[in-house]
Amino acid sequence: MEWVHKVPCKAKHTKFQPSDEEWRCPRCGANAEYFYIDEPDPDAHVDCTLLHEKDFVVCENCGKGWSGKRVARMLQEKHDYIICPTCKGKGFIKKQH
């Protein structure tokens, strides 16, 4: 997935946008061949490549499905990202352990 946003879109995008490398099933780790947006948010622009809160994402490998909002949250936690305190919540950084 190319995560470039260049079109007007009326759907609500997730705050965390996983990279291509991070786009794997949070449960089983399946790649984009098996883990994909099955039902896009009806308000999303057809050419918008960002993840939307109301997208429905499925994994054919493990049979699970989640909203885009839930997938973003799960991947954010899995990859240890937190909201950046210096940019007032507009970006994410790796959590310092």
For 57-76, the pLDDT digits (tens) are 999 999 999 999 999 999 99
β partners of residue 53: none
Torsion of CA 50, 53, 57, 63, to 10 degrees: 150
- 16 SS3 class: coil
Domain count, the chain: 1
Residues 79 and 22 sit within 8 Å (Cβ to Cβ): yes
For 21-37, the pLDDT digits (tens) are 999 999 999 999 999 99
Residue 11's pLDDT band, with cuts at 50, 70 and 90, is: very high
Give 95's DSSP letter: P
What pTM was estimated for this model as a whole?
0.82
pLDDT for 86 equals 73
Q: Which domain holds residue 19?
A: 1-97
Give 40's DSSP letter: -
